[in-house]
Chain A
Amino acid sequence: MKKLWKGNEAIAEAAVAAGCRYFFGYPITPQNEIPEYLSWRLPEVGGAFIQAESEVSAINMVYGAAGAGARAMTSSSSPGVSLKQEGISYIAGAELPCVIVNMMRSGPGLGGIQPAQGDYFQATKGGGHGDYHPIVYAPSSIQEFVDITYNAFDVADKYRCPVMIIGDGMLGQMMEPAEIPPMRDLKDLPNKDDWAAYGHSDGRQRLINSIRIEADDLEQFCNRLFEKYKVIAQNETRSEEYLTEDAEYIFVAYGSVARICKAAVVELRAHGIKAGLIRPITLYPYPSDVIAKRAKSAQVKKFITVEMSMGQMVEDVRLAVNGLKPVEFYGRCGGNVMMPADLVKYVKEGK
């Protein structure tokens, strides 16, 4: 049955349902309801919640739990996620599965606590040092947060890589009806006998680390990692198109902003202006093909990338459009949220 869920709490319950039993975090607004919820919920299901002494500790505890074969997770918001980057790079280097949630707030620096999308580059381009990407999801409703969180642990296990779910303060704080999928039986979770460091009891020796001193070893590893990313791109890229078939103006937006664009599309169409929306659901791998296909449509006049930032995803849209059509940018930042009417005005006035 559908219940009214707050975004942050829905993510937390969906993680429990997915078989996550270990959470490590450090408080920061606007995602505190995730650790708060899991602090009482995980002990109920035989799991453990630890409030670490810092974000750096928390992400390294995730490394440890994931290395031991458990489904583990951390969450934070922008400045806190910056602190976790070293650990995320190590997790990618050690090929460990885990889920990281970033409920973005406005930056740079300590910034503000209102919604923003300024961490797109950080999330999708690696964030930490070295050649790697997490898989990045950007849900736009509470139900989608639930479904993606539930699925994220499977994806992480399948490819043995970190999965990041990004939202913003608006999605974290708001409430909508959502249904949590059935609780996974831990016995049915993927078997990790061939790599996880459970201990010496079965006589096996396991070493999980991310150090590869020999240049050739490391190059071979990076090649293998990027072969894996090709498979991930083939299998996991997701996006939603809304009224793009005959659209002359196509918004490209993700997360909460995509919903504001959707409302603008409806309003523009009521005024006889053919607008549409491409909403990337995965930000890495990026749905470039979907955008490239629309860029080839004769009737498309331009793409308008809309973000709560100074313009980050717009670069990936430009790469996908590859000069075939103009790509414009509309953004708000600092924690301000655009209204559908702002976008309607932007399209109508041609600027």
Chain B
Amino acid sequence: MQKITISGFGGQGVLSLGKFISYSAIEQNLNTSWLPSYGPEMRGGTANCSVIYSAEEIAAPVIDHPDILIAFNEPSLDKFENAVKKDGIIIINSDIVHKKTTRKDVKFYEIPVDTLAAEINKRGANVYMLGVLLPIFGDITEEAAIHAVEHVFESKPKVIPSNIECLKAGIAYMQKLLK
């Protein structure tokens, strides 16, 4: 089971990154839940979503202690870093977040996804981040993630190839980092 909190500004693709993960999980017949923040919090402010996937039934869709936190902006890191469970993972978009976590008991990755994705697709940062996550997850295949990307961009087929390229680049980046 993975419990993932994704947080950032509205417009950074925070909610769709969560959807990519849920769609990927479905591709592999896993159970999944995607719970977005909604309402005034989203309008011009921060957006976040809680994504869980598991081979077992998912009881609560809310997450008190995520295994993984992905922070696309500083307020998100401030808000959620203490909730991350011991030995969990915090990933920041280091193009936007210019500080480190205060936690000593988690793995911390600073990844400039905006810059890295921009070489392929300026709007592909969240798909790049999906790629980054796959080697960490270990149980979601590249194929499932590709299907998820194709599904989410069903109505915009033109953007699919460059997003798949972002996904693959993200996977390669993280595989190298984990070596």
Give A contacts to B, CB under 8 Å.
2-4, 29-30, 112-114, 169-170, 173-177, 256, 259-260, 262-263, 266, 337, 339-341
Contacts and interface: CB of A to CB of B under 8 A. Distances in A.
Listed from nearest, the 3 A-B pairs whose CB atoms lie closest are A263-B60, A263-B59, A262-B59
A36 to B, nearest CB: 14
Contacts of B34: 4, 174-176
Contacts of B64: 339-341
Interface string B1-43: 0000000000000000001001100100001111110111000
B60 A30 contact: no
Contact of A177 (B19, B31, B36, B39): B31
Contacts of B61: 170, 174, 176, 256, 259
Nearest to B18: A175
B111 interface: no
A175 B19 contact: yes
A266 B59 contact: yes
B5 to A, nearest CB: 13
B31 A337 contact: no
Contact of B60 (A3, A4, A340): A340
Contacts of A2: 26
A175 B22 contact: yes
Nearest to A258: B59
Contacts of B40: 113
Given A169-B39, A174-B33, A260-B60, 14 more contacts: A4-B19, A4-B23, A4-B26, A4-B32, A30-B39, A170-B61, A173-B36, A175-B33, A176-B32, A259-B60, A260-B59, A260-B62, A262-B59, A340-B62
Contacts of A3: 26
A262 B40 CA distance: 29
Contacts of A169: 38-39
A173 B31 CA distance: 17
A173 B62 CA distance: 13
Contact of A113 (B19, B38, B59, B65): B38
Contacts, number: 66
B159 to A, nearest CB: 20
Contact of B39 (A4, A29, A262): A29
Contacts of A173: 35-36, 38
A112 B36 CA distance: 16
A11 B106 CA distance: 40
25 contacts: A3-B26, A4-B19, A4-B23, A4-B34, A29-B39, A30-B38, A114-B39, A169-B38, A169-B39, A170-B61, A173-B35, A175-B22, A176-B31, A176-B34, A256-B61, A259-B61, A260-B60, A260-B62, A262-B59, A266-B59, A337-B62, A339-B60, A339-B62, A341-B64, A341-B65
B26 A262 contact: no
A321 B39 CA distance: 39
Tell me which of B19, B23, B26, B40 has the highest count of chain A C-beta atoms within 10 A of its own C-beta: B26
Nearest to A335: B39
A177 B32 contact: yes
Contacts of A340: 59-60, 62, 64
B60 A262 contact: yes
A218 to B, nearest CB: 44
Interface in B55-69: 58-62, 64-65
A259 B59 contact: yes
For A29, A174, A266, A341, which residue has the most chain B Cβ atoms within 10 angstroms?
A174
A246 to B, nearest CB: 19
A322 to B, nearest CB: 30
Nearest to B34: A175
Contacts of B35: 170, 173-175
Nearest to A339: B64
Nearest to B39: A113
Interface string B119-148: 000000000000000000000000000000
